Chain A
């Protein structure tokens, strides 16, 4: 009985793992599909934003995201979060946010004064998924 439960648990774990891996795979190339939409299709922003690339987001996750950032070749290069400073100061926390890829080579955090979609001063938290990602998103 114990071994049967163990096998079931392992099978469930593997199944869950496969599902996660599968979902993550779907996001690695642009477009990522529903529920993600291209930010420049919904908001007056450039299709490719220097430093951030081409962004997709699930509208239900705004303002924090994750925003999936793709390079010119459609490769997922970064996952970006946007957190209004006023919300953080007033006690809002953004916990358990999803990531586009579980490999993170470096993280940049910086201030942004605002833009359509997140028009309040906020922080950009950028998780780069490989060593060259930042240069590919630069321009």
Chain B
């Protein structure tokens, strides 16, 4: 993204002029992330796969896939002993399996980058990234680096932090 483009950020259909570090209008206090899949299960994904929210936002994960169950599970040692990919001060979460129509909510208060995955579909690249707050926030913790803990399919699934900042939310449009 060029510096010129960074001065005008499309967020929720609005255009925001910024000076210096790009700013984004953060979604909140409630946001929904859908768990979706094609009819035969060839593709599964979170929608949006990337989302920027304000601290204190409650994110609701809802399974819109009629033929499959999904989880929203934070990368954290407390949950299946995974490498931490959420801010150190944040509380890890795991929705457990959600059947079609079921939902789970988590309130995110600590600024930083949160990476999460769907337990049965991580190898299919069903991962997501939430930005809470902005990089200028005190205590902001950026994205975790590459790791042997992750399959290549999962690593490839995280949207870039800069892209989420610029767009506010990112959909995998090829499946939508």
Chain A positions within 8 Å of B, measured between CB atoms, are 44-46, 49-52, 110-116, 119-121, 124, 139
User: Quick one: given A44-B69, A50-B39, A110-B42, are A116 and B97 in contact (CB under 8 Å)?
Assistant: yes
Q: Which residues of A contact B99 (CB under 8 A)?
A: 44-46
Q: Which residue of B lies closest to A49 (CB)?
A: B67
19 CB < 8 A contacts A-B: A44-B69, A46-B100, A49-B67, A49-B68, A50-B66, A51-B67, A110-B40, A111-B40, A111-B42, A113-B43, A113-B121, A113-B124, A114-B120, A115-B41, A115-B69, A116-B69, A116-B120, A119-B120, A121-B123
Q: Which residues of A contact B33 (CB under 8 A)?
A: none
Interface residue from B37, B67, B119, B120 paired with A52 (Cβ < 8 Å): B67
B interface, over-half SS? loop
Map CB proximity to A onto B1-40 as digits: 1 under 8 Å, 0 otherwise.
0000000000000000000000000000000000001011
By the criterion CB–CB under 8 Å, are B69 and A114 in contact? no
Closest to A86 in B: B123
Interface: B131 (CB within 8 A): no
Q: How far is the CB of A70 from chain B (nearest CB, A)?
A: 16
A-B contact count (CB 8 A): 60
Q: In the complex, are the beta carbons of B66 and A112 less than 8 A apart? A: no
User: Contact string, B135-167, partner A, CB cutoff 8 A, digits 1/0?
Assistant: 000000000000000000000000000000000
The complex places the Cα of A116 from the Cα of B119 at a distance, in Å, of 9
Shortest C-beta distance, B134 to chain A (Å), equals: 34
Within 8 Å CB of B97, what residues of A?
44, 116
Instruction: Give the size of the chain B interface in residues (CB under 8 angstroms).
Output: 20
Asked whether B40 lies within 8 Å of A112 as measured between CB atoms, the reply is: yes
Query: CB within 8 A of B42: which of A46, A50, A52, A113?
Result: A113
Cβ contacts under 8 Å, B40 to chain A: 51, 110-112, 124
Alpha-carbon distance A61/B124, docked complex (angstroms):
24
User: Does the CB pair A115–B66 fall under 8 Å?
Assistant: no
Which of B40, B41, B123: most chain A Cβ within 10 A?
Answer: B41
Q: Is the CB of A114 within 8 A of B124?
A: yes
Contacts of B41 in A (CB 8 A): 112-115, 124
A51 and B39 contact, CB distance less than 8 A:
yes
Question: A44 to B124, alpha carbons, bound, how many Å?
Answer: 18
Task: Across the interface, name the chain A residue whose C-beta is closest to B66.
Answer: A50
Q: Which of A50, A51, A113 has the most chain B CB atoms closer than 10 A to its own CB?
A: A113
Closest to A108 in B: B40
Closest residue of chain A to B71 (Cβ to Cβ) is A44
B54 at the interface (CB under 8 A from A): no
